[in-house]
Amino acid sequence: MSLSGRNGLAMKLVGNDAGKVQQHADENIGANIASGSYPSDAMIVLPCSMGTLAGIAHGLAATLVQRAADVTLKERQPLILCVRETPFNLIHLRNMTAAVEAGATIYPVMPAFYNRPATVDEMVRNFVQRVLAHVGLRQAGAFEWGRDS
């Protein structure tokens, strides 16, 4: 797993003891995750701005996130784009269509309410658990329809 972030923010989010976490500057398009020979099973862009979506959808590969997404699509691995801006305009929808046609999954950042979350933290946790489950990383304690409903 690799994270880009400023001033160690990504490390604070996942914890300093996460031995598998590497942090890369978005300008470092030569980082290991920018190569198809680097082993990975999937990529999640969360959050994915409309600018990042546009770059990925059109194969710009000008930043590390865009280049790693391009490699993920080239290697036919799952690419999950958690778009965050609404409402969508026609350009956003066309970029989403282009990304999906290339093999990405659009997974808008939207909370679920069917699990009756009591706090914002529960909403966020449920969303992240759903995204991780989508790439095969089921989390212990995650809401499962039918089991918890």
Tens digits of residue pLDDT in 91-149: 999 999 999 999 999 999 998 898 899 999 999 999 999 999 999 988 888 888 777 55
Q: What's the predicted TM-score (pTM) here?
A: 0.84
pLDDT digits 0-9 by tens, 67-88: 999 999 999 999 999 999 999 9
Q: Which two tokens stand for residue 142?
A: 């995650």
Order of strands, sheet of 104-106, starting from the edge strand that comes earlier in the sequence = 43-48, 79-83, 104-106
Q: Is 49 left (phi over 0), alpha (psi -120 to 50) or beta?
A: beta
